[in-house]
A and B are shown apart, each in its own frame.
Chain A
Amino acid sequence: DAGVTQSPTHLIKTRGQQVTLRCSPKSGHDTVSWYQQALGQGPQFIFQYYEEEERQRGNFPDRFSGHQFPNYSSELNVNALLLGDSALYLCASSNTGSFQYFGAGTRLSVL
């Protein structure tokens, strides 16, 4: 049983560029949440998708947007990248009554 998979593993971008990160949830899970983990910090909630709609959102600017597809996979898009967007981006999947299971993350470096 494949767990949560994220791609790519690493990414290097320059300021002002746009980036798309991808996540495939664990089999049987229908909800995807995205978190940002800066170096030396705990993960911070960005948003959550369920039934292809954003259900909850954390304190992140509109530059951060997402999408969920009918097969429950999800994308995180970040526009106009800033140096401060450099972090590990984690995807977690779940379903009703379950706990969130995390992928290994995508490490984004903004130069």
Chain B
Amino acid sequence: QKEVEQDPGPLSVPEGAIVSLNCTYSNSAFQYFMWYRQYSRKGPELLMYTYSSGNKEDGRFTAQVDKSSKYISLFIRDSQPSDSATYLCAMSQNSGGSNYKLTFGKGTLLTVNP
């Protein structure tokens, strides 16, 4: 079993739709949960991060972590064509900064159609 599982999609939605992206994980030591966005032929860009369980909102984006279920989600409201990208979940046993490696999901390819 992989440490992090993510449905690769692809996911295609109309503009304005609510998008739900999810990951499950098996390593109980993960404490920091991140979502990166990766446009075609670019490096991943940090979108949101959450520590332990709970919700975090930033504009049209909401990240949720349920450690009891080992399940994380990213919701995108009022999706725009510019949101079309691959979304990667990533997890770390600490800050995800200088001390520890990131473990990524496979990524979900999202297309928002005008």
Residues of chain A touching chain B, judged by Cβ–Cβ distance below 8 Å, are 4, 30-31, 33, 35, 40-45, 48, 50, 56, 58, 90, 92, 94-105, 107
Q: Is there an interface contact between A97 and B98, defined as CB atoms closer than 8 Å?
A: yes
Q: Is there an interface contact between B98 and A95, defined as CB atoms closer than 8 Å?
A: yes
* Interface stretch (choices B14-22, B56-64, B101-109): B101-109
Interchain pairs with CB closer than 8 A, number: 72
Query: How far, in Å, is A89 (CB) from chain B's closest CB?
Result: 10
**What separation, in Å, do the CA atoms of A96 and B95 have in the docked complex?**
9
Interface of B, secondary structure class, is loop
Which residues on A sit within 8 Å (CB–CB) of B36? Answer: 102
Question: Which of A31, A44, A90 meets B98, CB within 8 Å?
Answer: A31
Which residue of chain B lies nearest to A105 when distances are taken between CB atoms in the complex? Answer: B43
Which residues on B sit within 8 Å (CB–CB) of A56? Answer: 100-101
